[in-house]
A and B are shown apart, each in its own frame.
Chain A
């Protein structure tokens, strides 16, 4: 023993067990998890402080921009009362919800149909169609506004029911972009579902419609949820076309109406404007919470090759 002691090279007197001590708790919590909390909290602060500012401005009884701080200086619902009593906000909000929900649902269905065709069938013009969708989508939508405006001026003369200042007209216009936005994303997701499923269903005598509605659609719920949510958000937030097409106060969407509140008198109306922004955020946030379990998977699935 002593002999071996003298032979052994004088190393640090750490016990040899230290070498194989994996995942010890000593100082490990911070190295493993703690620092992540710090970065997470920083990201959280960055995300939340403007929202906090909006909340406190909405509750601020003075209702001006210069008196709004991060921490509410008082709590009153005066701005909300003004919003619902003195402006047409309830109508704007209703318009936004109707257009947003219908645009989301219809464009989701339309692009799901197209994605099914591109994913499951081989036909003449398939490649050209996919490329064409990609190209058309890149043409700046806003600069079509001149062409769209002139087209709709004519449509308004012939069919006032779908012309300027109508919900239906704007909705149809939004559906024009339905194929371009989501078909690629959905097609990628559809491609991940094995074709053997459809084949075996067809062998059992299912028609193509039964395969689509009964088999495929239930399997792609995540991507449907995501495209629906994205469609809703973009329709509610669409500002440019709506601001040019909707000039009557009663036809405006919430985005256009709220812009009108702060475009001139920005300092005085700020509290009412902030209250409106909060109310408008409620349905989207609710949808988000409701669809949360699909969102993360759905957003990327189209891009990830299965």
Chain B
């Protein structure tokens, strides 16, 4: 008692600003876990650094070091508590979602795709390389592929034999030299040579990319291989000239002038060489959707069906799911649990496999549906029946999920509300319409909107069931059941070669449409109120 009035002066040590226990990690278990995880982070960072150093990617290395330092700072500092919980997800989100989104956006403003993959220099090299022809009167050598040193990593060399004189040469990246100590077979082909490793077929295929790039420089051009056992001295038929910024054909004299706007070499008639390069085309990809008559005509029709499909799927799945949930939501009902677990079975089946099963059930010749009902309907042959089939498959795949969430939401609605309505003399349906249903909608609106957004881009639902069929004869690119995303897929990756730039532009369109619809509806349902 007397002690209490003596002020006890304990000097608490100042809190550390940074360190393993600085953020109040008190328990030894917590400390051990933390040390372990940070150790793993450090190990992964070191492992990831080696290839970056080896390829001289200093920007990547700086980013790697910065990210690792950030992780260590966040987990050793006593402050920034929210960051400790957000960092793991955010890192994944940035690398695998945000970066690809930005990359897609930047691609949308280019002509990136087949024929426009690389830089201008790469395009010139490709044009020249593709036009290499044999120098008239030059030798066609017998070739043996070899390496200087290890077969997997050493420099490629050509061991060459002149078929007329049987003289052996070695061709390296520096030029052609006589080969002294070569073992040759009867036809002169070099079978071994001191200091060089002759490659077998497996090693050749492993190094095929290097072999394609390799050539032996000579006075008139270069010695290139032709297959695996012949090589000849050739010069490019078409060569780039810096003065006119054009490519000239040596024999015909035809010139193709570089066009920086389109990233192609064009001759006087407007004919372009197949090999171009990647350039920025501004808003051209976006304008294409509005100005290209083929795309414009299809775009609107497809957009309408796209919205109809997404809305339709949400409406029918929610409608049927809610109906069944209401019917079965009766405590006196026997076997409620059995009903529930069986009705949601389709939800547990692998969706990809089941879509393919449905597709085959609708098959005209062998399909179960035609055989059961004695029909001979070509389900994917007409637009209405194809749409019906797609919607039926989605109903089967989706209504049980809606049944589940409706059941959950129904159970969350206080029973005394509906009972009070009944006491006040409201008929059951009236009570449902004025009390239960609005409450349900408030609860389920975010899920319905997500479902709409998901189905708007439900690629597999179309691609695996109808593949967009049927196709009108006048425009085989745009099927009657295509949605934007499958249509884009066909335009971008279909028969006409990859057009990544254009595909990216369409995906930006899709994003804008979905984002607008979602944001507007979220605002209307006040789901965003919670943020503030």
Determine the residue in chain B with the shortest Cβ distance to A135.
B515
Residues of A within 8 A of B84 (CB): 208
Known contacts A65-B366, A148-B96; decide if A70 and B372 are in contact (CB<8 Å). yes
Residues of B within 8 A of A209 (CB): 25, 30
Which of B51, B100, B341, B514 is the one whose CB lies under 8 Å from A138? Answer: B514
The A contact surface, by secondary structure, is helix
Taking Cβ atoms with an 8 Å cutoff, the residues of A that contact B are 32-33, 36-37, 39-40, 43-44, 46-48, 50-51, 53-54, 64-66, 68-70, 110-111, 113-114, 116-117, 121, 123, 126-127, 129-131, 133-136, 138-144, 146-148, 150-151, 158-159, 172-173, 175-180, 183-184, 188, 191, 207-210, 212, 233, 236-237, 239-240, 254-255, 258-259, 262, 266-267, 270, 273-274, 276-277, 280-281, 284-285, 287-289, 292, 295-305
Report yes or no: B332 in contact with A207, Cβ–Cβ below 8 A.
no
Report yes or no: A113 in contact with B85, Cβ–Cβ below 8 A.
yes
Q: Which 7 A/B pairs are nearest by Cβ-Cβ distance?
A: A176-B96, A143-B507, A300-B408, A277-B353, A66-B366, A117-B85, A147-B100
Taking each of A139, A150, A258, which has the highest tally of chain B beta carbons within 10 Å of its own beta carbon? A139
The contact sample of 11 A-B pairs, CB cut-off 8 A, is A66-B365, A113-B89, A134-B518, A159-B48, A178-B93, A180-B93, A255-B350, A259-B352, A284-B349, A297-B411, A300-B408
Taking each of A33, A136, A138, A191, which has the highest tally of chain B beta carbons within 10 Å of its own beta carbon? A138
Residues of A within 8 A of B92 (CB): 110, 172, 175-176, 178-179
CB distance from B198 to the nearest CB of A (A): 27
Interchain CA distance A141-B92 in the complex, whole Å: 14
Interchain CA distance A127-B342 in the complex, whole Å: 41
Interchain CA distance A274-B409 in the complex, whole Å: 35
Which of A51, A143, A296 is the one whose CB lies under 8 Å from B503? Answer: A143
Report yes or no: A40 in contact with B339, Cβ–Cβ below 8 A.
yes
Interchain CA distance A44-B403 in the complex, whole Å: 12
Task: Check: B32 CB closer than 8 A to any chain A CB.
Answer: no
* Interface size band for B: 35 or more
Known contacts A36-B330, A138-B453; decide if A207 and B353 are in contact (CB<8 Å). no
Partner-binding segment picked from B143-151, B227-235, B439-447: B439-447
Known contacts A47-B400, A114-B86, A143-B485; decide if A237 and B351 are in contact (CB<8 Å). yes
CB distance from A234 to the nearest CB of B (A): 9
Q: Which of chain B's residues 442-467 have a Cβ closer than 8 Å to chain A?
A: 443-447, 453, 457, 459-460, 464
Task: Check: B500 CB closer than 8 A to any chain A CB.
Answer: yes
Interchain CA distance A262-B522 in the complex, whole Å: 41
Interchain CA distance A1-B411 in the complex, whole Å: 54
Report yes or no: A262 in contact with B356, Cβ–Cβ below 8 A.
yes
Residues of B within 8 A of A150 (CB): 103
Taking Cβ atoms with an 8 Å cutoff, the residues of B that contact A are 23-27, 30, 48, 51-52, 55, 57, 81-86, 88-90, 92-93, 95-101, 103-104, 107, 320, 323-324, 327-328, 330, 332-334, 339-354, 356-358, 360-361, 363, 365-368, 371-372, 396, 400, 403-405, 407-409, 411-412, 443-447, 453, 457, 459-460, 464, 485, 488, 492, 500, 503-504, 506-507, 510-511, 514-515, 518, 522, 528, 530-532
Report yes or no: A295 in contact with B404, Cβ–Cβ below 8 A.
yes
Report yes or no: B511 in contact with A139, Cβ–Cβ below 8 A.
yes
Interchain CA distance A144-B101 in the complex, whole Å: 6
CB distance from A192 to the nearest CB of B (A): 10
Report yes or no: B447 in contact with A303, Cβ–Cβ below 8 A.
yes
Which of A148, A179, A277, A300 is the one whose CB lies under 8 Å from B90? Answer: A179
Interchain CA distance A135-B93 in the complex, whole Å: 12
Determine the residue in chain B with the shortest Cβ distance to A274.
B357
Residues of B within 8 A of A267 (CB): 366
CB distance from A96 to the nearest CB of B (A): 9
Residues of A within 8 A of B409 (CB): 300, 303-304
Which of A32, A64, A147 is the one whose CB lies under 8 Å from B104? Answer: A147
Which of A32, A191, A259, A296 is the one whose CB lies under 8 Å from B356? Answer: A259
Determine the residue in chain B with the shortest Cβ distance to A213.
B30
Report yes or no: B366 in contact with A151, Cβ–Cβ below 8 A.
no
Interchain CA distance A138-B525 in the complex, whole Å: 18
Q: A208-B81, A277-B354 are in contact. List 7 more A-B contacts (CB 8 A).
A: A50-B357, A110-B89, A212-B85, A233-B347, A267-B366, A270-B360, A300-B408
Residues of A within 8 A of B351 (CB): 233, 237
Interchain CA distance A140-B101 in the complex, whole Å: 9
CB distance from B443 to the nearest CB of A (A): 5
Interchain CA distance A115-B371 in the complex, whole Å: 51
CB distance from A161 to the nearest CB of B (A): 9
Residues of B within 8 A of A288 (CB): 341, 344, 347-348
CB distance from A209 to the nearest CB of B (A): 6
Report yes or no: A40 in contact with B328, Cβ–Cβ below 8 A.
yes
Which of B85, B327, B342 is the one whose CB lies under 8 Å from A47? Answer: B342
CB distance from A264 to the nearest CB of B (A): 12
Taking each of A117, A267, A305, which has the highest tally of chain B beta carbons within 10 Å of its own beta carbon? A117
Interchain CA distance A36-B324 in the complex, whole Å: 9
Residues of A within 8 A of B328 (CB): 36, 40
Report yes or no: B97 in contact with A144, Cβ–Cβ below 8 A.
yes
Residues of A within 8 A of B522 (CB): 134
Which of B26, B83, B488 is the one whose CB lies under 8 Å from A143? Answer: B488
Which of B371, B396, B444, B492 is the one whose CB lies under 8 Å from A46? Answer: B396
Known contacts A237-B351, A240-B460, A300-B443; decide if A151 and B357 are in contact (CB<8 Å). no
Report yes or no: B361 in contact with A48, Cβ–Cβ below 8 A.
no
Report yes or no: A285 in contact with B372, Cβ–Cβ below 8 A.
no
